[in-house]
Structure 1
Amino acid sequence: QARAAFASPTQLRLTAPDGTAATHDFETLLLATGSVPARPAAFPADHPHLWDSTAALALSEVPETLLVVGGGYIGLELGSVYAALGARVTVVEMTGGLLPGADRDLIVPLAKRLRGLFQAIHLNTRVAGVADDPAGLRVVLENVQTGEKREEAFAKVLVSVGRRPFVDGLDLDKAGIALTDRGFIAVDETGRTANPRVFAAGDVAGNPMLAHKATHEARALVARLVGRAAHELAPVPAVVFTDPEIAWVGLTETQAKEEGREIKVSKFPWAASGRALTLDRADGVTKILAEPGSGKLLGVAIAGPGAGDLISEASLALASGATAADLAHAIHPHPTLSETLGEAAELHAGLCAHLYRPRKI
C-alpha cells in the first residue's frame, strides 16, 4: 500500500500510509502506473454532480437525466448502460461524428440504435459553461460551427473525454525519465526509458490505452528482461462494448486513406447472413482490408452483436500473416456470425456463397 517516487536514477522512495518513508535501491524497474480519466479545466474538481468514468462505475443511483460529455467509446458504453437502467441520456460530441477515428460505415448501425436509446445526441457541440442548479447542474451547450448556445439542466454530468497517463507524484525528473509531448513516458522499441534501468509498459507508455495491450506488452518486456524469447506485440484489437458492438484490428480504412495506402476493401453485409436474420440483427457488417495483389490481410472490422468475440479470429489471422484466401479457405460453421468473416474474405476474390456479386472479367 505504499506510494512510490524516484529519489535518484537508481533509488525509489516508498511512503507508507502512516507517512513513514524508506529508500530502496533497484537494478531494474518496470513502470506500469496506468492511466486516469482526463478532466478538462472547465469542469470543477470533486463536484458531487460531476462524474468521471471511475465514479460512474460506482453505481450509487440512477439519475433521472445524464449528460455525457464526449462521444467516444467510454461515453457511449456508460451512456448505454445508464440509458438501459432508465436514465434519460444526452450525449455531446465536439466533432462531427460519434467515435472519432473509427470507420464511418461501422458507426451507421450503432448511431441508428443509439438515437433510439438516448434522449438526444448533439454533434459539433461543446460544453461552454457549467453552473449549479436545483436539479443538479445547468450546462451551456455551444454549437462549434454556428456559435449557437442553449442551456439545459441535468441531474448528473459524466465527463468522458478520454484518459491521461498517470505519472503524478513519481518525480520522474529525479530519475532522468522523459515524457512525450502527449504526456506519455518516452520509451524505445524495447520499452526502455531515457534511464537505462527503467522500463515502462501499458497505458503510461503510449496508445492504445487498452488492458489487453498492456498485459501483452508487459509480458513481452519482462520476458526480454529475464533473457527469455519474447513475442512481438501483434496487432491490437479494439472493441466498443455498445449495442451493436464494434471491433477492429490492424489497419482501418480511415487510417489507410490518411496514409494514402492502396488497399482492397471487401464488405459482407449481415443482411445476407442467415444467423443475423434469425437474431433480427441484419444491420451488421464485416469487412476486411487486404493488399490488392497478394491479398495479405491488413485489417478487419466488424459491427454487430458479439463483434468483440468475433474479432479474435481476425487477430490470429493478422498475427500469423494470413491472406484473404487463407481466411476464406478456413471452414466456418453455418449458420453462424463467424461465417461472415469467411464470406468477407471470399468477396476479396469476387466469389461469395451467400451474396451474389458478379465477377469482373
Structure 2
Amino acid sequence: MSRYFHYHVMYVGMINIMLFVPWILIQHRFNGSISSIALVIPVCTVLSYIAIALFRRFPGMGLPEILLGNTPRAFALLIIFLTAIFWFAAGMLVIYAYAATIQQFFNPDMNPYLFSGLMVVASIWGSSRCTRSVQFTTEIVLLLSAPLIIAILLKALFNRWLDWNAIRVVAGYVRTKPSLISFSAASLVFAGHNTLVVFNRMMPPSAKIRNRWIIPLFCTFFLLVSVFVPIGFHGTVGVSHYIYIWSITADSMVLEYGFVSRVLYIFLLLYTALSLLFAMNTWHTAMELLKSLRKGHKPVVEEYPVKAVNWWINIAFGAAAVGYGMWANERRNEWVSQSWLNIRLFSDIAIVSLLAWLAFRSSRSGYRARASDGGGTSADS
C-alpha cells in the first residue's frame, strides 16, 4: 500500500510547474528564494515525516473522522469546510494555469474557454469516482507519464547548452534572508503527505509507509531542477522575462532522434495528463471532505455506481472553475496563486499541530486508562 502514497508525493512534486512555483522562486532569486530552498528541504522533510506518523496513529481514518471523533462538532465542521475549499482551489488554479499555457503555445487565437471547459468536464468525471478508482487511476497515469517527465528533466540537466556558471552565480545568494512567499512556494513540492486527509482511509492498521527516504530525495531533485535548469538555459537576468518559464525551457530543447523534434509538444502532452490527475485528486478530496459535513455520513472507499451527490458537488466545482477563468487574468491569477501558497503553508502546519495534540491527548487517555486498570487490579488482589 505504501507505493500509492509515494505516487501522491510524486505528482504533487511535479505539478508545481503549473502553480508558478519555479516562476515565483526565480523572481526572488536574488532576495531570498535560494536560502528558502535550502531551509525548506530539511524543515519540510521533517514535517512530512511527522505528518505521516500522526496519520498512521489513526489507521483507516481520514481527517473528517479524526476531527469529528475527537473535537467539538462545530470546530470540526469549520476545519473540514475550510480544508475542502483549499483543496478545490488547488485543482482550479492548475486547470486555469494549464489552459492559459496551452492557449499561449498552441493557438493564441483559440477560444480561451474551450480547452479549460474540456479539462473541467474531464476533471468532473474523474473526481466523482470512488476513492479506490481514483487511487488506481493515479497509479496508471503516473506510471505512464512520470518516466518521460523525468527523462525530459535529465535531458535538460545534461544539455550542452546549460550554463553552469549562471547556476553557480544564483546559488551564491544562499546567504540572503529567506522570504515568506519563497518558502511557501518551495514547500509545495513537499506537500504530497497532505493527501492522507482522505486517502489514509485506504490504509489498514497493519499497513506501513516504507521507503520514506524517497520523499526528500525526489522532492529535492525536482525542486532544484525546476528552479536552476531555467536559469542555466536563459541566464541570470534573462530568465525573469518569461512567465511560462518551463514551457519556454522545454522549447529550448530538441529530440535529435525522435519523431517529434520539439520537446515542448511532448512536455505539454505529459502535463495535460498530470494536470488532469492533480485536478482529479484535489477535487475528489474536496468532495469527500464536503460529504463528511452531513451528519451520519459514513465514508466508503469503493462504490459502484457512484452516488448522485458526487456529480452535483463536482459540477459545482466545475462551474466555479469556469467562473474563475472568466474573472481571472495573469495578474489576478498571480495574486491568487501566491495567496493560496501562503495559506497552504500555514494550514499544513496548523493541521499537523492539531493532529499532534489529538495524538498526545489520546495517548495520555490511554495511559490513564491503563494506570486505572492496573490500580484496580492491585487493589483487588
Q: Same fold (TM over 0.5)?
A: no
| Greater strand content | 1
Larger radius of gyration: 1
What TM bracket, shorter-length normalisation? under 0.3
